[in-house]
Structure 1
Amino acid sequence: MSSTVATHDQLNEPDSSPAPSGPAAPAPKAKRPRLYVLDGLRLVAALGVVLWHWLGVERFPAVWHGSPRHLMTVGHWIGAYSWTGVELFFLISGFVICMSCWGRSVGDFFTSRVVRLFPAYWVCVLLTSAVLMIVPVRWGDDVSRPTISRILSNLSMMDEPMGVNHIDPVYWTLWAETRFYVLFGVLLAVGLTYRRVLAFCGIWAFLALVAMNSNFPLLSNIIQPGYCWYFIGGITLFLMYRFGQNLLLWGMLIFCWLIAQNEIRGIYPGYAWGTGHSLKWSVVVALTTAAFALVTLAALGAFNRIQWKWLTVAGSLTYPLYLLHQQLGWEMITRVRRYLPPYPTLGVVLVTMLIAAYLVHRLVERPLAPLMKRKMEQAFDQVRRNGAPAGDKG
């Protein structure tokens, strides 16, 4: 989310299907309650990214008609570090994607990702583009004024690998998530077992270490050595959740944290540039450690008593809020700020964005998801029916 993450964000899909059998697969634990707390943590992560862009970034004083650091000192210092919500997003994504894939086919996985990601994304791209084509450019360059070609390229969600500027900078995390999906999809095609998932995590970690100093851009682009530790950590925590703890899994998790704390040294200076002042490495590491700790506690059942149904609604707001908040949020802030003090402005804009996120969920995602799912399932049924080699009479 950070400009990433996010968030990917992901569905907390219940793990309802049986684990594939395998000689090395331990018996799964009895089915556990839905992890509602992950929905809540996803929203916390999204709000962290929102506060980073709205309060932490100092480079665009026109947004607040002044410096957030001086107008909202406490808010700014919270926002200056809250971009670490992206790391929390990636941890949750590793956990949830592994959970949602278990016992499913590649077609099921592909369908679930398309249905989950694209409807809201298309609407948010078009809505943000429409606003940015009408309002004057305010953020120091002309990148925010989209062209038709740029809008169309963004609708593919592949604008980053094509080298096209994002309509909204937050879309960068979608490409990070997509690369993770492709890697995990390859494993899913081979077949998920406890042993294979462990091997996948180990191989991915090793390749990430190789990529760090290999001067091999293609490898680094696929492996993501800066962020893969959160995805791998999330997968490891899912294995703990489903099959129970052991020393190997704890070793993998701790290893991911050790490498992540080092890698974040190369990430946080960019955020320090955005804030206009230095950031403390110790605070950044404490927050990323807290992200590991929270998802670990969730995986180990510490929050199983939290069965608040409203957290599902909160989680459903995460993705559209993430997609909408930066450019549109800045445009709203600069106008509301003319009439209200800073903190009331923040409250009004945040409530408005949450309402907009709910409307996207309610009016776009909920009606379109079942329709798209049916059409995708029909497409994969056709692929399977016509999948025999030419001339095969069987």
Structure 2
Amino acid sequence: MSTVTPPPPLREAVPTPQDRGTRGPRRPRLYVLDGLRLIAALSVVAFHWTGVNIHPEVWGQRAQTVMPTLHRFGAYGWMGVQLFFLISGFVICMSCWGRSPRDYFTSRVVRLYPAYWAGIIITTLVVNFAATVRAARHPMSLSDVLTNLTMLERPLGVTEADGVYWTLWIELRFYLLFAVVAVMGLTYRRVLAFCGIWTILAVITPGTGSKLMDTVFMPQDAPYFIAGVAMYLIYRFGVNPMLLGVVAFSWLFAQNRLHITVGSYEYEVHHTLSWPVMAVISGASFLVMLAVSMGALNWIRWKWLTVAGALTYPVYLLHQELGWAMIRWGRDHGIAPYPLLAMCLAAILSLAWLVHRYAERPLSALLKRLLDGARGPAAAPKSDPPVRARG
């Protein structure tokens, strides 16, 4: 295990006034992000399997009654979504820096759609034909299934094949917003300006009463993406007071919006949730991602985390409707709750691996070849400040 590399003095970390074009040294894989993705996904799984009380048909009664101890933790599992958004802001910057707008578009399509299409097909088969879930969901029409394939079912007013897909519409809107600066070329100054402008617009949006502004600037979720982007700037260029200020302000903004966001989750758990607990979980998510950005977790280099990272997206896409169907089946066959949870988790992880290996990987490669086939001359990367190497 290597020692943690401390951040350099602030004077070395501040970008210089002149942007000198360089991509900098190749950085090692951040294995810790794969682990954090899996933690976030399993948190959401715990919420839907042990925290949600509005579907008593799943366990035969309220989840809180069946497993009161697990429910106390699972009731806050939805906050894994906020960790996902923090990671997403960081990773979008990391994966797209120095690339052309075409590369940006291709990377998002290749990353999001193959596993999603597989999830749509599998989930639709369960929702439409598995007797264990027919009482909870109406079968989907062919038109609804085809609309879901676009990932735009929510703005088109069509029910998602799986309820968790609502977050994908939020991710798409973030990608579209970030595309504005990606098209201009990612530089320290432009990305920092993007963070500041989006923060201002997200803050003033609730007071306008504008549904359009709310859709575009996403005041409930914006602070997580913005903080993630700022944390990548810290990772790439070093820590400085300005970037720390963006992260701190984003958390202050985020904890305020939790008062609004929590309402829908309290409806699902059917009881009040503690704001101090939510604030601590949110703060811990910010702090761990800040530690990632400052190199404090570079010592985590366990190779198996790459597998965990690969499974995260399919697990997220598949766990809700399929998980509820498996729980109902196991309950009907007399399996005790805790062994049943372990069996369902093992089944979802196995199915996620199959989807990744036999659907996501080959479809992603095919999509990339198709999208790269009409590629024109790549645009030269815009200039950046010098990049500080990390150990």
2:53 is the counterpart of 1:62: no
2:223 is the counterpart of 1:229: yes
Give me the whole-angstrom Cα distance separating, in 2, the residues matched to 1:382 and 1:200. Answer: 27
Question: Contact 1:28 / 1:242 at 8 angstroms: preserved in 2?
Answer: no
Deviation of residue 323 (structure 1)? 0.5
Deviation of residue 337 (structure 1)? 1.8
**Equivalent position SS for 1:245:** coil
Give me the whole-angstrom Cα distance separating, in 2, the residues matched to 1:372 and 1:125. Answer: 18
Question: For 2:203, which of 186, 189, 209 is the aligned residue?
Answer: 209
2:121 is the counterpart of 1:126: yes
Partner residue in 2 for 1:310: 304
Give me the whole-angstrom Cα distance separating, in 1, the residues matched to 2:318 and 2:280. Answer: 28
Question: Contact 1:45 / 1:86 at 8 angstroms: preserved in 2?
Answer: yes
1:231-380 paired onto structure 2 within 5 Å? 231-338=225-332, 339-380=334-375
Give me the whole-angstrom Cα distance separating, in 2, the residues matched to 1:25 and 1:263. Answer: 39
Partner residue in 2 for 1:3: none
When residues 33 and 59 of structure 1 are mapped into structure 2, their CA distance, relative to the original with a 3 A threshold, is same
When residues 137 and 218 of structure 1 are mapped into structure 2, their CA distance, relative to the original with a 3 A threshold, is farther
The alignment covers a number of residue pairs equal to 364
Partner residue in 2 for 1:6: none
Please identify runs of 4+ aligned residues in structure 1 that moved more than 6 A: 25-29
- The one-letter amino acid paired with 1:376 is L
Question: Contact 1:236 / 1:252 at 8 angstroms: preserved in 2?
Answer: yes
Give me the whole-angstrom Cα distance separating, in 2, the residues matched to 1:25 and 1:275. Answer: 52
- The one-letter amino acid paired with 2:327 is I
Deviation of residue 189 (structure 1)? 0.6
**Equivalent position SS for 2:69:** helix
Worse overlay, 59-68 or 352-361: 59-68
- The one-letter amino acid paired with 1:200 is F
Question: For 1:39, which of 34, 43, 53 is the aligned residue?
Answer: 34
Question: Contact 2:231 / 2:293 at 8 angstroms: preserved in 1?
Answer: yes
2:166 is the counterpart of 1:172: yes
* Structure 2 residue ranges without an equivalent (≥5): 1-15, 380-391
Partner residue in 2 for 1:10: none
Question: For 1:117, which of 93, 102, 112 is the aligned residue?
Answer: 112
**Equivalent position SS for 1:160:** coil
Give me the whole-angstrom Cα distance separating, in 2, the residues matched to 1:22 and 1:326. Answer: 49
Question: Contact 1:62 / 1:138 at 8 angstroms: preserved in 2?
Answer: no
2:72 is the counterpart of 1:74: no
- The one-letter amino acid paired with 1:313 is V
What's the TM-score once normalised by structure 2's chain length?
0.89
**CA displacement, residues 21-71 of structure 1 (integer Å, 9 cap, x when unaligned):** 983579887544321000000000000000100100001111012221121
- The one-letter amino acid paired with 1:102 is W
**Equivalent position SS for 2:299:** coil
**CA displacement, residues 199-255 of structure 1 (integer Å, 9 cap, x when unaligned):** 010000011111121011111101101100000000000000000010100111100
2:180 is the counterpart of 1:186: yes
- The one-letter amino acid paired with 1:226 is Q
Give me the whole-angstrom Cα distance separating, in 1, the residues matched to 2:159 and 2:329. Answer: 25
When residues 58 and 377 of structure 1 are mapped into structure 2, their CA distance, relative to the original with a 3 A threshold, is same
When residues 347 and 137 of structure 1 are mapped into structure 2, their CA distance, relative to the original with a 3 A threshold, is closer
Question: Contact 1:29 / 1:243 at 8 angstroms: preserved in 2?
Answer: no
Partner residue in 2 for 1:97: 92
- The one-letter amino acid paired with 2:39 is V
Higher relative contact order (CA 8 A, sep 6+): 2
* Structure 1 residue ranges without an equivalent (≥5): 1-20, 385-394
Give me the whole-angstrom Cα distance separating, in 1, the residues matched to 2:355 and 2:232. Answer: 30
Deviation of residue 135 (structure 1)? 2.3
When residues 301 and 319 of structure 1 are mapped into structure 2, their CA distance, relative to the original with a 3 A threshold, is same
RMSD: 2.0
Give me the whole-angstrom Cα distance separating, in 1, the residues matched to 2:208 and 2:76. Answer: 31
Give me the whole-angstrom Cα distance separating, in 2, the residues matched to 1:185 and 1:67. Answer: 43
Give me the whole-angstrom Cα distance separating, in 2, the residues matched to 1:65 and 1:279. Answer: 23
- The one-letter amino acid paired with 1:46 is A
- The sequence identity of aligned pairs, in percent, is 48
- The one-letter amino acid paired with 1:202 is G
Give me the whole-angstrom Cα distance separating, in 2, the residues matched to 1:25 and 1:49. Answer: 42
Partner residue in 1 for 2:103: 108
Question: Contact 1:317 / 1:358 at 8 angstroms: preserved in 2?
Answer: yes
When residues 137 and 383 of structure 1 are mapped into structure 2, their CA distance, relative to the original with a 3 A threshold, is farther
